[in-house]
Amino acid sequence: MSEQIPPSFLPQAFLLKMRGLLGEEYEEFIKSYENTRLSGLRLNPLKVSGDQETMLAGRFGLKKVPWAREGYYYDNESRPGKHSFHEAGVYYIQEPSAMAAAELLDPQPGERVLDLCAAPGGKSTQIGGRLLGQGLLVANEIHPARAKILSQNVERMGIANAVVTNEDPETLARQFPCFFHKIVVDAPCSGEGMFRKDPEAAKQWSLENVAMCAARQEKILGYGARMLKPGGRLVYSTCTFSPEEDECRIEQFLEQNPDFSLETAEGYQELGRGRTEWTKSGRRDLENTFRIWPHRSQGEGHYIAILKKSGHGEELGVRKLQMPARVKDRCIIEAWEAFAEDTLTEEGIRFLGEDIKERLVIFGQQLYKLPEMMPDYKGLRVLRPGLHLGTLKKNRLEPSHGLALCLKKNHVKRWESRGGESRDIASYLRGGTLTAQEGDTKGWTLMLAEAYSIGWAKRVGETLKNHYPKGLRLQDIDKRQ
């Protein structure tokens, strides 16, 4: 059998390293670079249920990703990223292997969860879907431009109980000691597992960069550990093959943090296990960590470890959970009440919370609903302090795009639905004006692509004036591309 010729874009030092690590598996690993890469999407449980899942599976040729409850491979010819359902937050386009970390974190409704290195938002939106609007999600990204993209994805997926921050991990650790039930640390890494998906990334690779990433991961993981409450779970993940960033990183962390131990998870036979032979101590519990290999599974390279902090109880230390200052200006409260009375049904008011007036916060002219359990954020760079309700304009409220995307038609008094592939919905996404089909009352109208909310229109007579945000409109995206 002739030796497999590696792709020319792979660095020679990387190939030598992988040959030494994999031994007899090396040829099969190199051959995987010739295989067709499968694309994935993850359905949004805040939007999709029951028969809708069956409909979407048929429309986009979906097949289950074995390690993610809401994950599917899709038929590339169906182009779901170009469909109106994507803009409605019905699903999130995500590399299949990247779905495993949040799945193993297993967030539950009512918990406080942190995604420490969150952009562009795949894991955050997966967590937000699992929380089902209950509890608190803090999604953090240190780079401002990437944090903005993260915030946009949180909005698109209709997540109402998320706060998006733009901070360094050390600052967050001071702000949130022993606070979160669960944390995911998807650490910046050398990205070896993504070379098949992104050959350009291979040009940035070097052994020196691997060492630099490993040192940075040590600090980030340490800050994450400080924010986990006793009895909590932290999932560490990378998209690299390097033991220095994977098993060796967890080996060192456990040596330095005796109050942590490795957990395992049953029922994930499709995932490989950590390699104890690649560590200094050879500690056996590292077999409880997970690896996804492109030559063994239908996904790119990933490593995942589940860490449990000993102890139990709340032991909160976040300024004794001091709450931020709420809105007291009567004009602002009345503007919200007038909008709610005109636009929302009783079911919509219950959905947003009958105590919403106690949780209103104001950023400039922007009105937000703060999630439950979110303590004072003074001193933090906050991009999104919760659900964006709207903009105050001369004592009236113009509802936000984010509010539209978290509502359903039973939450509003006026709504209009168009086919997901119709000319009308394509025109709406480009900023076009539509003709009303339902009812005869003027006011804010929720637009839907079939069953899924996609934005606002303002009905005046028989005309639906478009309020889809500029910058998100397809013609604006086309210009940027």
Residues marked as catalytic: 239
Report how far residue 71's alpha carbon sits from residue 100's, in angstroms, rounded to the nearest whole number.
9
* Secondary structure of residue 68 in the 3-state scheme: coil
**CB neighbour list of residue 16: distance below 8 Å, 6 or more residues apart:** none
Residue type for 408, please? Answer: K
Sheet hosting strand 91-93, strand order edge to edge: 63-64, 71-73, 40-43, 91-93
For residue 306, the cross-strand partners are 235, 263
Strands (E), 275-373: 290-292, 302-309, 360-363, 366-369
Strands (E), 52-161: 63-64, 71-73, 91-93, 112-115, 136-140
Please, is 138 exposed, middle or buried when counting C-beta atoms within 10 Å of its C-beta (0-12, 13-18, 19+)? buried
Report how far residue 262's alpha carbon sits from residue 288's, in angstroms, rounded to the nearest whole number.
7
Helix axes 247-256, 207-227, angle to 10 degrees: 40
Helix axes 122-131, 144-156, angle to 10 degrees: 40
For residue 41, the cross-strand partners are 72, 93
User: What is the phi/psi pair of residue 132, to 5°?
Assistant: 55, 35
Which position has the token pair 């950023």? 363
For residue 154, the cross-strand partners are none
Report how far residue 61's alpha carbon sits from residue 81's, in angstroms, rounded to the nearest whole number.
14
Residue type for 166, please? Answer: N
- Helix, strand, coil percentages for the chain (3-state, nearest 5): 40, 25, 40
How many residues would you count in the chain? 481
Report how far residue 350's alpha carbon sits from residue 358's, in angstroms, rounded to the nearest whole number.
14
Please, is 397 exposed, middle or buried when counting C-beta atoms within 10 Å of its C-beta (0-12, 13-18, 19+)? buried
Nearest to 190, CA basis, from 345, 321, 407, 17: 17
Both structure tokens of 17: 């390293």
Going 432 to 437 to 441 to 445, the CA torsion angle's sign is: negative
